[in-house]
Structure 1
Amino acid sequence: MADFMTAAQRSVHMAKIRSKNTKPELALRRALHAVGYRYRLHDNSLPGRPDLVFVARQKVIFVNGCFWHGHDCPVGTRLPKSNTEFWRDKRNRNQDRDRLQRTQLLAMGWTYLDVWECELVADSFALTKAREFLGTPRLMS
């Protein structure tokens, strides 16, 4: 099946896809902040530049897009019908890189949580998962 976009249209479309401050990430940030968690964003000194960094707890959260990181949900398992081999290789490289970065974080004494885009559709599930991972928020004075 041929692509319905020209190469120039595809390039413009792909350039609009962000790697940080995505809608799922913003939703989780708002929810965690509302219940009292404080965090840093996109720390360049840590492998993978985690989306949320909880320095005092030595914990990080990655908010992953299901398609880009090959989640086992319907969106993550679907491959485009055109250029399938490219996309399979791209997602495999993303998954390999993710595994390496998680291993590096663990070696540095950090723990991590992956939150998937599809889990954020039901805000309460992702928030519950994150709260269990993080523990009790610090009391604000």
Structure 2
Amino acid sequence: MLYMTLDVLACPYCKDEGFPLKLYVIEEKEVKDRKKPNMEKPYCELYCGYKRKFLKELKEEPPCDECLTKEIVTGVLVCPKCGRWYPIIDEIPHMLPDELRNKDEDLKFLKKYKDVLPEEVLKGKPWGLMD
């Protein structure tokens, strides 16, 4: 997942009230030869996921070129409003509603990364290890 994806993602339940989602990166990789978008900078409209700040809060120009060299392989997105967490697995954010999520897979993910995940994820919704 690209950091710039945070500019468009929102919790399926809270929508704009849960924007921006919190990001916890577990594994990141560098991508050297990514083609840059044919558009003006900044590439994000509201929120720079790489700096984790709204564009209007940045005192300097957003580091768009540097941002494009990074890819989140594994991580977690958390809605700051409802506390739901969504895994990022193999570079893909799994942003499914509760009824479509696989509880066994989610719990397996939590167990695998329990030592690096914050308590808000381990206790989060729709389920956690600390229920």
Q: Same fold (TM over 0.5)?
A: no
Would you tell me which structure has more helix in proportion to its own residues?
1
Would you tell me which structure has more strand in proportion to its own residues?
2
TM range (shorter): under 0.3
Q: Which has the larger radius of gyration?
A: 1
